[in-house]
Copies of this chain bind each other. A is one copy, B any other.
Amino acid sequence: MEQRQFKKRGVDYPIVDGAPTLPGYYYHSPDIYREEVEKIFYKFWLLACREEEIPEPGDYKLIQVADESIIVVRDKSNTIRALFNVCSHRGTQLCAEPKGHFNSKTIQCPYHAWTYALDGRLIAAPLMQEGHGFEKSKCSLPQAHVHNWEGFIFINLDESPVPFEVQMEALIGKFADWKISELRIARHIRYELNCNWKLILQNYQECYHCPGVHPLLSKLTPVDSAQHDVSKGAVIGGFMDLPRKGGSMTMTGEAAAPPICNVHGDDLQRVYYYSVFPNMLLTPHPDFVMYHHIIPLEPGKIINDCYWLFRPEVINDPSAQGGINSAVEFWDLTNRQDWQVCEQMQIGTKSRRFKHGYYSGREDILYQLDREVLKALGHPDPQAQD
């Protein structure tokens, strides 16, 4: 296919109107899904949780990554660990409660009482003698790698992961003005959706659908104001304008809170939309930060946990709750509008007559996302043969 560059507000479109989408089976095939789990979710850095969710030594949160359950726990020395939730003895799930605190500062298997330190070391295996096939030191809990970026805990299940800074290059230094590590979770909504995980990222990365799907959003932010900062790699994103002075993405269009920390200049009139491949969507506003945590369960089934971060003093200010509510309500409404079309796209792409579709130039980032997926899977381009 002929490739040209098209101009849009000074930014080059890397694709033409008509570039092919992925074939429909990329959203349905159990084989493709298994490959994605293996080559993407078990290889890439993934959002796990916020550091604030486990503030004290012994605090933990379980993180599901496809079939794996990971205990993200703060150990005695305040190091955050990501332990596989599987006893080395016979494979029992160590911990079933999704969130909590290990009072004993150890993790004890409920079955035979093998006991682990919070750093994963096996410290007690009742009645077992070392020496003839059993070595305590070989029975530590397997660990995923951990990286803290701005209070977001990322994990990587690969034994030799790519450096965080390589995968997340475009994120480093970005949004420093927000001091995101100082923000706190004000609200959380869990969505259970019947669609492929990629459809959520694709949906997030274009506003071509906004006029029809999001009438209220389209009033607050001009749909043709979208510009891209980064359009290749695992982190891709850009921003849209907030023309109203002191405005933000809320039910009223007024800011939910004063600008965050050092946010200034143009950023006071912008909403950023960064998709952090493969499981995070990060949306900094002047006054708050929203993020999505995507958890794939099956080819056509995901959990999407949506969080709203605000300054602690806003969260603790009774008179500020109306603003928070307005932001949450706006995005909950907008999210539900998105989920409906994503779920309808999931159904439609099952058709055997849908070989592939045609991106508009405004969906160039989706074309790049598809390339990122194909590269990770090591698949040749399933290009259209029209």
Contacts and interface: CB of A to CB of B under 8 A. Distances in A.
Interface of A: 1-2, 4, 16-21, 24, 42, 67-69, 84-94, 96, 108, 110-113, 125-135, 138-139, 142, 208-209, 211-213, 340-341, 344-345, 347-354, 357-362, 386
B90 A17 contact: no
Given A69-B348, A90-B345, A125-B360, 15 more contacts: A16-B132, A17-B131, A19-B133, A20-B133, A67-B352, A69-B347, A84-B351, A85-B351, A87-B348, A90-B359, A91-B345, A91-B348, A92-B341, A92-B344, A128-B361
What 8 A-B pairs have minimum CB-CB distances, sorted nearest first? Answer: A18-B133, A18-B134, A93-B348, A91-B349, A16-B132, A90-B357, A92-B345, A93-B344
12 contacts: A16-B133, A42-B352, A67-B351, A85-B351, A90-B345, A91-B345, A92-B344, A92-B345, A96-B344, A110-B213, A128-B360, A138-B386
A322 to B, nearest CB: 32
Contacts of A19: 133
Contacts of A68: 351-353
A108 B110 CA distance: 52
A16 B128 CA distance: 9
Contacts of A350: 67
Secondary structure at the A interface, as helix, strand, loop or mixed, is loop
Copies in the complex: 3
Nearest to A93: B348
Given A113-B212, A357-B89, A348 B94 contact: yes
A4 B133 CA distance: 11
A88 B357 contact: yes
A212 B69 contact: no
A160 to B, nearest CB: 14
A337 to B, nearest CB: 10
B92 A129 contact: no
Nearest to A42: B352
A340 B97 CA distance: 13
A125 B90 CA distance: 55
Nearest to A96: B344
A385 to B, nearest CB: 13
A358 B88 contact: yes
A204 B28 CA distance: 36
Given A2-B133, A134-B358, A345 B111 contact: yes
